[in-house]
Amino acid sequence: MVHGFVLRAFNRGQNGCLVFKRLYSWTEQSFPKITTHYTVHPREKDPRWEGVDMERAVDEVDVVIVGGGPAGMSAAIRLKQLAALHEKEMRICVVEKAAEIGGHTLSGACLELGPLNELIPDWKERGAPLHTPVTEDKFALLTENYRIPLPILPGMPMHNHGNMIVRLGHFVQWLGSQAEELGVEIHPGIAASEILYHEDGSVKGIATNDVGIAKDGSPKDTFARGMELHAKCTIFAEGCHGHLAKMLYKKFNLRTECEPQTYAIGLKELWEIDPAKHHPGRIEHTVGWPLERTTYGGSFLYHVTDERYEVVPTCGIYLA
Ligand SMILES: Cc1cc2nc3c(=O)[nH]c(=O)nc-3n(C[C@H](O)[C@H](O)[C@H](O)COP(=O)(O)OP(=O)(O)OC[C@H]3O[C@@H](n4cnc5c(N)ncnc54)[C@H](O)[C@@H]3O)c2cc1C
């Protein structure tokens, strides 16, 4: 048995479901603190923070966007386009926690071109890294011993002809360069760590992360306070399960009238394979084995043309 672990089921939730409460009676040694973050362990009550200068520099922009993934970058580009259309000066600022734009974007993806054609119609001339149109779709049900091909008809979600196989990280990097060209201020390597509110409770902007904090949550000699970015509009584009978004759900009860969110785990691998088995433009999806019938999931395999590797297929499994 895991040391000191007790699982007790009690309490009926609002919807009559059993609510499971995990009670851990751990020792510091066997289970070190999961987080020392100040949102969980307030610094005001921590003597190690006494006398540390907590003043933050403030900058005022028109729009601050948290997260420079496909959504954040597209929003920044569109806003700049609209500002130019209406001859308005607009400061738009994107903070992205990855060291470089696209650095946290791992998915090999099949990209539907409609939205991109609307956003940047001349993407080809601008050198968008879209090199592999889908030419062949395959879909199969796997059992432990067999592969049963399933038909894909036009109109079905699995029918990907006309879409592009991309390495999304490269694509997002390119979106970043387009945004920068339009004058968007992009700050990679900086995470938004706090939401700031006006006195009336509306969102005022964000604060970026402090640096120079030891693992135990104490300030190091190199401690430097983050900065505040105040904006007329703050867009949260952190991707799924963003930690600031979760705070907003709670504060503004954004989850009360909706279906519960479900999540999937995707495992991605890049394989270099025998050129004879490489078919650029082929997409393969499977359902079934190794998952049992009651588990939602499957796998995909995209044959990508890559500048460095001749072949970069990707495969993943989704579980919900
Ligand atoms: C394995 C896999 C395969 C996929 N395949 C496809 C596909 O074939 N076709 C398709 O259309 N979609 C696919 N998707 C989904 C697609 O990748 C997402 O829908 C898309 O990336 C969502 O974009 P986003 O900008 O909302 O979020 P994300 O791409 O998650 O970007 C969020 C960004 O915000 C940054 N960030 C988060 N929190 C903070 C913070 N506090 N401060 C600063 N920065 C922050 C992150 O570093 C990240 O760069 C796939 C996803 C996975 C995981």
pLDDT tens-digit series, residues 203-255: 999 999 999 999 999 999 999 999 999 999 999 999 988 999 999 999 999 98
pLDDT tens-digit series, residues 187-212: 999 999 999 999 999 999 999 999 99
**Nearest-CA neighbor of 181 among 104, 278, 81?**
81
84 C-beta neighbours (distance < 10 Å), count: 13
Q: Check residue 38 and give its pLDDT.
A: 81
Task: For residue 108, report the distance from its CA to the centre of ligand 1, in Å.
Answer: 11
Question: What domains, with CATH codes, occur in the chain?
Answer: 5-49 (no CATH), 58-112+163-251 (3.50.50.60), 133-162+262-320 (3.30.9.90)
Q: What does the block give as tokens for 80? A: 């700049």
- The number of angstroms, rounded, from the C-alpha of 301 to the middle of its chain's C-alpha atoms is 21
Backbone angles phi, psi at 232, to 5 degrees: -70, -30
Ligand 1 within 6 A of 74 CB?
A: no
Task: For residue 70, report the distance from its CA to the centre of ligand 1, in Å.
Answer: 7
Task: Tally the C-alpha atoms within 13 A of residue 37's C-alpha that lie toward its C-beta.
Answer: 8
Closest ligand 1 atom to 110 CA: 8
- Helix 70-85 to helix 168-181 angle (10° resolution) is 20
| Three-class HEC string of 148-208 | EECCCCCCCCCCCCCCEEEEHHHHHHHHHHHHHHCCCEEEECCCEEEEEECCCCCEEEEEE
Closest ligand 1 atom to 168 CA: 17
User: Which runs of consecutive H residues, i.e. helices, occur in the chain?
Assistant: 70-85, 114-119, 168-181, 243-251
**Nearest-CA neighbor of 275 among 305, 301, 300?**
305
Closest ligand 1 atom to 70 CA: 25
Average the pLDDT over 81-90 and give the result: 97
pLDDT tens-digit series, residues 135-189: 999 999 999 999 999 999 888 888 898 899 998 999 999 999 999 999 999 999 9
Q: What pLDDT band is residue 30 in, cutting at 50, 70 and 90? A: low
**Angstrom distance (rounded) from CA 70 to CA 312:** 21
For the chain, give the longest Cα–Cα distance: 68
**Angstrom distance (rounded) from CA 30 to CA 2:** 10
Ligand 1 within 6 A of 298 CB?
A: no
Quick one: DSSP state of residue 57? -
